[in-house]
Structure formats: C-alpha cells, structure tokens
A and B are shown apart, each in its own frame.
Chain A
Amino acid sequence: MKYRIAGSALAAALIIFAGYAALYIAPVDMRQGQVYRIFFFHLAAWVSTFTAFTIVFISNVAYLSTRSQRWDRLGVAAAEIGVACCSIGLITGPLWAKPIWGIWWTWDARLTTTFLMWLLYISYLMLRGLMEDPRRSATLSAVFGVFAFLDVPLVYMSNRLFPTQHPQPVFFGGPNSGVDPTMAKVVVLCMVAVLVIMIPVLVDRYRLEGMRGEVEELRQEIELRTSLPGGNGLDAQARPVKEVL
C-alpha cells in the first residue's frame, strides 16, 4: 500500500512537471507558434495507445493458450487504458489541426486507422460487458481481440493509397527532419511521464477486475446455496470478507 501511494505520487509529480515543461520550458516553434505545444501530449498519447493495445493483443493470445484469468484481467485493463489514451489523441489532434491545417479532420491513413482502432476496442469492451459467463466472455473476447489486432495493419494499408495530410514523422524521418534539442528532451519527458502514469492505473484496474471476478463468484455461490432445498445461503462455511479479498 505504501509503495503504491509513493508510486502514484511520483507518477503525478512527473506528469505535472511534464505539463510544465511542455508549456514553459520548450521554446516557441518557428512556424507554428504556441499551438504546437499540444503535440507533446498528442504524441505521448499515441505512444501509450499503441503500447496498451499491444498489451491487449499479448494478453489475448496468452489467455487463449494458458486459460489463466490473470491474462484476461490484464487484457481488459489495458484495453480501457488504450481507449482512454486513444480518445486523448483523437481530441488533441483536431484541436491542433484546426489552426494549422484549417480543418478539424481529414480521412488520411493514420487518422482513419486510429479512429477505427478506437471503435474496434470500444466494441471489444462492449462485447465483454454483454456476456454472462466469465469464462466464455474471456475466451470469445480474446478471439475478437486477435481479429481486431489483425485488422489494424489492413486498415492502414487500405488507406495508404490516398494522399496523406498528416505530418511526416519528425523523428528519424528524412534529412530535413529533427527538432531543437530542448524540444526533443521535452518530447521524451512527456512520453515517459504518460507511460509511467499508465503503470499504476494498469495495476489498479487489474486488481479491480480481480475483485470484480471474486464478487461475481461469491454471488453465484450464494445463489447456488439459496437455491438448494433447506439452505438459506447464510449458514456455515461463510468465509470472512477480508480473507476473500
């Protein structure tokens, strides 16, 4: 518990400092002025989105091969974080695009891919919520997760033939790419901060899913006992709540 509080406090301090650095430490952009500052968290949101969805895919495959509920919990935790980060990316993108491109949205490969990815993982989360049996829900949503992950590169490929408006990669791009060294440091700081904050959220969400599973099991046990002849569900063998959690 102590460590978790300390860890969360550290992550919070890091993200506040990253926000400060993005707003005040990084220099003003030569061509875009102040507006470009949103890019620090835009990029960080994408990095964490892809990290989260990769974790979902790994957990789905691992669940199907091991059938351990732990992988299922990790999958749902990462999918929720991925959808949240993806939403941040999808909101910060148009906010930047309106003053720079003059339009909120364009159907280019990267934008379309991430938008569809967002929809696919929302479907994944909805599917889980609509199934009663936890084992079946875990298995079938893992199958859907694998299909969704396979679909992402296909969406990207199918959109690539349209002319793109999204800026070309700034880092490791061509000979004219690259940024001011202070800016580069702030970019890395923001990415690290967002990834670090993912960890306590992921751990907490994973534990919450575990507790939810336990509650569901207990509820079913009570239902089973009350349905037995002569049983009232509250008799002997009732375990103390603390032991269960």
Chain B
Amino acid sequence: MSIKELLTIWTDSPALSMLIWVLLTVAILYLARTPAHQAITSSSRVVSRALRLAARAVLIAAGRLERRNRDVLLAFGLNAAEESVNREIQRMDATIRRDLSSYPSMNRKVMELVAKIDNEYNCGSEVPPEPASWINAVSSVAKIRATGDTQVAKMLSDIKVNIDSEHRNAIEEYRKSNSARHEILTKMAPNWREAAQILSTVGKSIKGLNERTELIDKKVDEFEIIRNGSDKAARTLASSSMTQFVVSSLVLLIALGGAAINFNLISLPMSEMVGGGSFIGPYKTSDIAAMVIIMVEAAMGLYLMEALRITRLFPVIGTMNDKTRFRMILITFSILFILASVEASLAYMRDQIAADMQALRQSLAAVDAAVPTGSWIPTAGQMVMGFILPFALTFVAIPLESFIHSSRTVIGIVALGSLRIVAFMLRLMSSIARNTSRLLVSVYDLVIFPALFFDRMVRTRLLHAPLDSTKGRVS
C-alpha cells in the first residue's frame, strides 16, 4: 500500500484524510503515553547504565594499569639505583685497592723515615765540649802569686800560650762538630719531604674516599626513596623515562640516517654480487642484501656492546663467564671488522660502477666524456665512510637499550591516557543517553500537545465542577 493510498483511505480529500490520520495518531500516542514514556526512560536507563558500567570497568582497568606502570617504573628505578650504588661501591673498592693497598708498606716506610730522622736528630744534637782535664791544674798554677820571679813569669807566659792554643783548637773542633751536625740535618731534609709527600698522598686518598662515600650516601638515599615508593620518586622516574625516550629516539633517528647513507653506499655494488635484475617481493634482491649486511652489522654491534657489558639487553651474554665473554668480544669484533672491510671494498666498487655508468651515458648521449679529475678524495672518502659506519652503528645499542626501557613506561602512560579518554567518552555518552530520554519524552509530549491540552482542560473542569455546583446551590 502506497503513501498516497494510505492518505486517501478515509476520504478522497488528502487534506482531510491527513487530518484524520494526525488526529488518530495523536489519540493513539496519547493513549500510549504512559507506557511510551516508561519505554523511553527505561531503554535510555539501560543504555546509560551499560555505558556507565563500561566506563567503570575501563577506569578500573586504567587503575590497574596505573598501578602496574608505577610498579614497573619503581622496579626499573630501584634496579637502576641499585646498579648505581653497586657501581659506586665498586669504584670505591677499586680506589681502596689502588691507593690504600700500599698503606702498610707506606706506613712502614714512614716509620722507617721517622726512626731515621730520630736517629739523625740524635746524632745532630749539640754536645757541650768537655773542659780540658788540665784546666784545674792551670787554675791552681794561676793562683801562685807573682813575685817577680822570671821562672814563674815564663811558666805563666807558657801557660797562656798553651791556653790560647788550646782555646783555638777547641773552637776549631767545635766548629767542625757543628758543621758535621749541619750536614746531618741537611741530609734529614729529603726524608722529611718524602714523609710529607707520603702523608699528603694518603691525605688525598682519604679525601677522595670521603667524597665517594658522600656520593654513595646520596645514592643510597635515592635508593631508599625509590624503595619507599613515594609519589615524588614515581614522578621523577616517569619524567626521567620520558626524557630518555625523547633523547634516545632522536639518537636512533640520527643512527637511521647513518644506516640510510650506509645503504646507499653498498646497494649499487651489491647488484654486482647478487645481480641487479632479481627481486624478492617488490624489492630488489641487491637492496635486501645490502639491508641484511647493515642489519648483521647492527646485530654484531649489539652483541659486542652486550659482551662488553655496556648494555644489558641479553642477560645470557651478560652472565657468561669472563673467558667466554672475551671470546665473544673477539668473534663479534672480528665479524664487524670483516664486514667493515667488505663495505669499504663495496664503496670502492660503487665508485667504479658509477664512473662506468656515467661514461656510458655520456657516450650514448653523444656528449664528449667529461675529463676525469683524477682526484682520489671522493673514492677514499667513500671507502673510509664504508669502513667507519659499521663501527659507528655499533653504538646504536646504547640508545636502543634506553629506547626499549623507556618505551615500556611511555607506552604504559599512553595506554593509561587512552583508557582514561575512553572512560570519559563512555561517561559522556551515558550522560547523553540519559538526557536524550528526557528530550524524547518532551518531544513525545510536544507531538500530542492538543490531546494533553484537552486533557488538562477536562481535568480542570472536573476539579472545579463540584465547587461551582456547590456555589450555585448555596447562592
């Protein structure tokens, strides 16, 4: 049945028929008002509650993720702090071993020096000259009264001469003795200096140890803060992770640039080896071969860094015994060296092929071939780049490790943010669903407003009718 037929079902006049339809619809809607309102309200309530429930579930998941992120972050921070403390302790241990292991010998040396100085000091101490034994005899003789006897005068004169001579001898002896003591004291000076130097070295070592101890104290404090799992520690660690993520991403981008240059250096000459006309999927086999070489170099660099214990991406390598680890260092370095040499050769070959292609194109274009400059600099530059880049790529392992570790935190934060946005959207939709039901109820009432108006009018009349009739009867 078409709309036109429906329109003319009551009368031939479409307008009148439409009016009948409208009245009929309004009447039906009026009659079904209460259940319709209930249906609208309850259905919207169902939708709203379901959405709120979903939002709640998402928020719970977000809470779990947040706790997990925090745990991971703190565990990572704790591990890093522990490593840092360990490293400082190891450094202190090395310092103690280096500087203070010789302390007993130094002590013995100092004691020996002190004994030597003491000995020399004793040797150098001033001993007052012994008065001559005949001095008493001379003084007794000197008491003899001069009677003018020439014998006595001569004797006294001789005694004077002797005394003067003895005095000169005594002074000479005293001077010699003093000189000898000075010599001993002069010899003592290097011993003092040596002792002072040894003590100064010990002092420096002790000062360095003190500084390192302070540093360890600080690190241990940090470790304690992280272990306590405070919010501040979590925030600091998250911020640090974000910084690491950004910095390592930048460095990796730079490394990618290096890899791209490396790729361009070796992709053309690789076609000489594996052929320039074969494809694997949509890619040239030579390009894939060049890429594989670069990847192998990067992998070798990674293993080398692991074996050197600079990075810790593979615990298996880190926990190897020193002998095996040393072998691994040798093997990875040898492979890297061979690959770097291959790359240098390929770079040389690239230069040759490019020159040949250029010559061919010029000959085909009937252009006089450009006179080659004969400069070896571009060739040498390419070869050096080909040799250096594999080793430079080795250091990609360091930012890669930072990137992997920090990306765990960053992904966690992003996932948490996404979950919160989803929860917000669900709550918003729930609110919209709840308010939509009110809107629909109002729209429903708007559609049947003539019936409602009539209903209100009748109700008012019925409400007021008894009063009016009473009033009439009274009056």
- Do A and B actually bind? no
